[in-house]
Amino acid sequence: MKWALYVSHDPEYVLVRILEPLLHQVPETMYFVKDTQLQYASVNKALLRRSGKRYKTEVVGHTAVELFPPPWATITLPRMRK
């Protein structure tokens, strides 16, 4: 028996249908996907809780600097730019 996994070449499909459900399975660890401008494209529930937001739409399109206090946001920023 052969198995095949069809993965669309549409990045939004891959993100919403495949990656996001996996990100939500780990409730205590923050997982996210950022775009080339370092803005959140997808986040899990742990990141929402820690950012103080309730809805993904409040986070998507924003950077860590806009959402988190300076010590946390500025520590992670140089690593993301590499």
| Mean pLDDT value across the chain | 78
Q: Six-digit token pair at 82?
A: 């590499």
Per-residue pLDDT tens for 26-50?
778 888 888 888 899 888 889 999 8
The structural domains of the chain, with segments of one domain joined by +, span: 11-81
d(C-alpha 56, C-alpha 20), whole Å: 11
* Separation in Å, CA 13 to CA 16, 24, 54: 5, 16, 23
With vertex at residue 39, the alpha carbon angle to CA 37 and CA 43, rounded to the nearest 5 degrees, is 145
pLDDT at 82: 56
